[in-house]
Structure 1
């Protein structure tokens, strides 16, 4: 496939990510948090695929970047915030703060260091919330606590390594493949637990687990 065709593929995946986010928002309004969370987990994997194709083929277009950023904001910002169950002033306020934190995170997405992110990527924060929602059956107190923690991680502007799961060591590819298979075949609770461990390992052990390839490239 030529460059133009691959750009179409990445744009289609970004559009699919956006559509999943919109359906997740619709499901949240309909009080079907399990469906909303499930769509966010699928978007979590789609976003990684978009990033992998873009980096591997060095694709860069203004329209593609804008579409992907809008998809990230809609899915990992708005849709994720609505998992909190906006049914009161406190939960509504926290949801607004979460959306603002995701917006702030996106503004600092591009850094001078090409091998790192500044602030926790929104997709990992969203994955934590979606997994927690599935495991706790939408417990608003636990979700609020997790959302507050994710807000801090997104806004603290610490550096996180590019995970590059589809372009790095084989065990990382196995982690991604395992998540994709479990999303299709496994029960909600087992898949949610898997994705939660995956995201938390990146959040709390970014360099020890996910930064190995980065260190090797820097040494070269």
Structure 2
């Protein structure tokens, strides 16, 4: 019969604890890998919800900036999911919910006034985003059908900031964005963080603009970025360029 000494018993206990700790660390890393992109989508949704609350309480400036932060988060979540090989059906649904919240409801509230016509415009904008997200698939690899709502949202947020929320200009811009979103035009998949170095620098510039710049240069930067996607989709933003 083999007798276990007190020292061997302590050794076995320490070994068990170390193995258990290692297994826990492995599980934690795997959980983080699988949910890193989902965390970015959740952060995007939180930006959208916060923007909605700001709009409802009259903090228009903050509402616009929160939408632009959501713009950056949305461009990052897909890239992170693919880089970590963590794409999932849950992640895709969460991304759509976040997009609808930030680039649909939150952006539409930037247009709202006490006018019935503006309220109707808000509803039409939300419906356009809903249609755009529902009919996301174009059937062609690396292509979207209809303008991605992230760009129309950025254009409206920047226009609102640069014009002091001039409702006439916002109405015209919103109508144009609705038409772009519901049409059947094709736009390239904007894998900004998975493409050429200059596109990554554009993204980094966007982050720095949010963190360091006063609002006029930052708004012009995001406006040019988004408009260039509409005007030169294949020439500049195609993943094959």
User: Please, what TM-score do these two structures have when normalized by structure 1?
Assistant: 0.93
CA distance in 1, matches of 2:154, 2:54: 17
Pick from 144, 151, 163 the counterpart of residue 117 of structure 1: 144
Matched, 1:68 2:95: yes
Q: Could you tell me which residue of structure 1 aligns to residue 69 of structure 2?
A: 42
Structure 1 pair 177–98 and aligned structure 2 pair: CA distance change class (3 A):
same
Q: Could you tell me which residue of structure 2 aligns to residue 202 of structure 1?
A: 229
After superposition, where does 1:15-164 map in structure 2 within 5 Å? Answer: 15-164=42-191
Shift of 1:53: 1.4
Q: Could you tell me which residue of structure 1 aligns to residue 197 of structure 2?
A: 170
Indicate if the aligned counterparts of 1:21 and 1:43 stay in contact, CA closer than 8 A: yes
CA distance in 1, matches of 2:33, 2:146: 29
- Structure 1 residues 156-209: Cα deviation after superposition (integer angstroms, max 9, x where no partner): 021101121111111101110001001000011110110000000001110111
Aligned to 1:214, the other structure's residue is in SS state: coil
Shift of 1:3: 5.5
Structure 1 stretches of 5 or more lacking a match?
216-220
Q: Could you tell me which residue of structure 1 aligns to residue 11 of structure 2?
A: none
CA distance in 1, matches of 2:136, 2:113: 27
Indicate if the aligned counterparts of 1:3 and 1:59 stay in contact, CA closer than 8 A: no
Shift of 1:51: 1.5
RMSD value over aligned CA atoms? 1.4
CA distance in 2, matches of 1:117, 1:58: 22
CA distance in 2, matches of 1:169, 1:183: 22
| Higher-Rg member (1/2) | 2
Shift of 1:109: 1.2
CA distance in 2, matches of 1:147, 1:3: 42
- Greater RCO, 1 or 2 (C-alpha within 8 Å, sep 6+): 1
CA distance in 1, matches of 2:211, 2:79: 21
Q: Could you tell me which residue of structure 1 aligns to residue 33 of structure 2?
A: 6
CA distance in 2, matches of 1:47, 1:179: 13
Shift of 1:135: 0.4
Q: Could you tell me which residue of structure 1 aligns to residue 240 of structure 2?
A: 214
Q: Could you tell me which residue of structure 2 aligns to residue 218 of structure 1?
A: none
Shift of 1:102: 0.1
Indicate if the aligned counterparts of 1:121 and 1:154 stay in contact, CA closer than 8 A: yes
Matched, 1:187 2:214: yes
Indicate if the aligned counterparts of 2:45 and 2:98 stay in contact, CA closer than 8 A: yes
Indicate if the aligned counterparts of 2:36 and 2:81 stay in contact, CA closer than 8 A: no
Deviates more, 1:144-153 or 1:50-59: 50-59
Indicate if the aligned counterparts of 2:210 and 2:218 stay in contact, CA closer than 8 A: yes
